[in-house]
């Protein structure tokens, strides 16, 4: 089955009683036993719920994995994977990470004596050099947030396997339509389904996908034991969103590429980060590893905070809001929003300057998006001239 078909059919068996094409939402918390120790496989909805199972099967299939384990948020999924680690264990991770992931590493797991060793960039050699006898996992996001740096999943998976440890890839920014890390050799895929997978800015959720039975067992055990499960209604909404994932991602790809090209040529823009641009340092790798470059575009505005304020204030189609991956185009100021949890020093180290702007290019008509950006860049230019005129 091709991706588009899987997205619509996986796990979707019609209800056996009514033959309803759309499976019912199982809101119930408890299921009848038929005799002592005998039931349908369902007993209590924290442990397992039919609507959640449907979502888990669908996500596993889209990523090409055996098992999907759904959570109430991307962070809950992240925590479930980290819970496999013990004091003294080490994780080698890319430094450019979702701010909340870094916060979980640093403020929850570091005090519990799990050590995180960060890689700034470069090829697989940097990863190999950081691995020690205590390394238990390699961890990366690609493309990264917010600089959209692309890591070579296959090459880093090889380093992980030589060391006998799994590679985890947070595939949130790409989505399984654009990139399938398990096929490239990764062992665990992590998602915030709040982003492209649900795709409508209306559900918080997360998932872990793997074909490794030991990882599945540990993460599934944690899911039931710690209990950060998604509700059936949220699972249903996410499944509904998934049906159009392929269509949406193709449009995100096209809109973002057009926006990136527009920004690249604009005098109020200093630098554009987008893997689909020929000038991106990992453009060739991105072409090999991804089907399209996704919907995220980051750039430096010419100017400072004053110009950023004028820019975001003038936008009318883009919403000035956190998050990404939905139909609505969003603009984010990483220094004060997605990466505000970092210290000034960490932010400087991560290269997040105050004139950096991150766009989640949505599904509106691209002409409207570019017109909106154009008039907001004009407002930013005028704010600079006003400052100069005012001396
Ligand atoms: C949003 C996000 C997360 C966290 O997911 P939540 O659903 O917000 O808990 C993790 N990783 C990446 C890359 C994200 O964008």
| Contact of 171 with 285, CB cutoff 8 Å | no
Query: Would you list the DSSP string of 351-390?
Result: T--TTEEEEE--SS-HHHHHHHHHHHHHHHHHHHHHHHHH
Q: What is the pLDDT of residues 344-380, one digit of tens each?
A: 888 888 888 999 999 999 999 999 999 999 999 999 9
- The alpha carbon of 341 and the centre of ligand 1 are apart by a number of angstroms equal to 14
The CA distances from residue 207 to 13, 60, 86, 88, 325, in Å, are: 21, 9, 22, 26, 16
Compute, in angstroms, the gap from residue 361 CA to the centroid of ligand 1: 17
- Measured by CA distance, the residue closest to atom 12 of ligand 1 is 98
* DSSP secondary structure of 259-300: HHHHHHT-TTEEEEE-TTSTTSTTHHHHHHH-SS--SEEEEE
- pLDDT grade for 390, boundaries at 50, 70 and 90: low
Q: In DSSP terms, which residues pair with 139 in a beta bridge? A: 93, 168
**Whole-angstrom distance, CA of residue 138 vs CA of residue 131:** 9
Task: Locate the ligand 1 atom nearest the alpha carbon of residue 323 and give its number.
Answer: 1
Decide: 48 in ligand 1 pocket, CB within 6 A: no
Q: Give the separation between CA 336 and CA 99, rounded to whole angstroms.
A: 11
Q: pLDDT confidence of 206, banded at 50, 70, 90?
A: very high
Ligand 1 midpoint to CA 206 (Å): 8
What SS3 class is residue 7?
helix
Kindly list the structural domains of the chain, giving each domain's residue range(s) and its CATH number in brackets, ordered by start. Answer: 3-242 (3.40.640.10), 245-390 (3.90.1150.10)
- Give CA–CA dist 142/120, Å, rounded: 13
Q: Tell me, what's the pLDDT at 249?
A: 98
pLDDT, residue 14, reads 82
Q: Whose CA is nearest to atom 11 of ligand 1?
A: 98
Those residues with Cβ within 8 angstroms of residue 304's Cβ, 6 or more apart along the chain or in another chain: 354, 355
Give yes or no for residue 99 CB within 6 A of ligand 1: no
CA distance 260 to 361: 10
Find out whether the beta carbon of 383 lies less than 6 Å from any atom of ligand 1. no
- Taking Cα atoms as reference points, which of 99, 135, 98 lies closest to residue 116? 135
**Mean of per-residue pLDDT scores for the chain:** 95
Residue 19's Cβ-count burial label (10 Å; 0-12, 13-18, 19+) is exposed
The answer, yes or no, to whether any atom of ligand 1 lies below 6 A from the CB of 145, is: yes
Peptide bond before 143: cis, by omega within 30 degrees of 0?
A: yes
Q: Is 75 close to ligand 1, i.e. is its CB under 6 Å away? A: yes
Average pLDDT over residues 249-262: 98
Establish whether residue 98 lines the binding site of ligand 1, counting it when its CB lies within 6 angstroms of any ligand atom. yes
The predicted-structure confidence for 102-121, as pLDDT tens digits, reads as follows 999 999 999 999 999 999 87
Task: Indicate which residues carry an active-site annotation.
Answer: 46, 98, 170, 195
Kind plus residue range of the DSSP H or E element containing 167:
strand 167-170
**Token code pair at residue 148:** 């959209």
pLDDT surpasses 70 at 391: no
Stretch 77-87: mean pLDDT: 98
Q: Which DSSP letter does residue 30 get?
A: B
Q: What is the pLDDT of residues 285-321, one digit of tens each?
A: 999 999 999 999 999 999 999 999 999 999 999 999 9
pLDDT at position 39 is 92
């Amino acid at each position: 089955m091709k991706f588009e078909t899987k997205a619509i059919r996986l796990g979707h068996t019609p209800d056996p009683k009514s033959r309803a094409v759309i499976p019912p939402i199982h809101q119930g918390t408890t299921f009848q036993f038929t005799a002592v120790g005998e039931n349908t496989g369902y007993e209590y909805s924290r442990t397992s719920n039919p609507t959640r199972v449907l979502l888990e099967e669908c996500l596993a299939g889209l990523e090409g994995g055996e098992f999907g384990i759904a959570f109430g948020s991307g962070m809950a999924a992240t925590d479930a994977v980290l819970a496999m680690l013990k004091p003294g264990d080490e994780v080698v991770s890319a430094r450019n990470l979702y701010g909340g992931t870094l916060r979980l590493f640093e403020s929850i797991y570091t005090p519990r004596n799990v050590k995180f060793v960060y890689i700034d960039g470069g090829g697989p050699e940097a990863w190999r050099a950081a691995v020690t006898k205590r390394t238990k996992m390699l961890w990366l996001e690609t493309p990264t947030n917010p600089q959209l740096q692309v890591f070579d999943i296959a090459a880093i998976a090889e380093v992980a396997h030589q060391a006998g440890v799994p590679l985890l890839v947070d595939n949130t920014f790409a989505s399984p339509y654009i990139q399938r890390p398990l096929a490239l050799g990764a062992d665990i895929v992590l998602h915030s389904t709040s982003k492209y997978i649900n795709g409508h800015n209306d559900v918080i959720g997360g998932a872990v996908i793997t074909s490794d039975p030991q990882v599945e067992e540990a993460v599934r055990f944690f899911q039931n034991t710690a209990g950060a499960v998604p509700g059936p209604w949220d699972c249903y909404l996410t499944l509904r969103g998934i049906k159009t994932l392929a269509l949406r991602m193709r449009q995100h790809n096209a809109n973002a590429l057009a926006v990136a090209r527009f920004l690249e040529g604009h005098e109020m823009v200093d630098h554009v980060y987008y893997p689909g641009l020929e000038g991106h340092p990992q453009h060739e790798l991105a072409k090999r590893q991804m089907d399209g470059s996704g919907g995220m575009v980051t750039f430096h505005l010419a100017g400072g905070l004053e110009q950023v304020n004028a820019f975001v204030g003038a936008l009318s189609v883009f919403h000035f809001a956190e998050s990404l991956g939905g139909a609505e185009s969003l603009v984010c100021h990483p220094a004060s929003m997605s990466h505000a949890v970092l210290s000034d020093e960490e932010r400087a180290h991560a290269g997040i300057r105050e004139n950096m702007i991150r766009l989640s290019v949505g599904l509106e008509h691209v002409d409207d998006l570019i017109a909106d950006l154009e008039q907001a860049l004009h407002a930013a230019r005028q704010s600079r001239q006003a400052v100069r005129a005012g001396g």
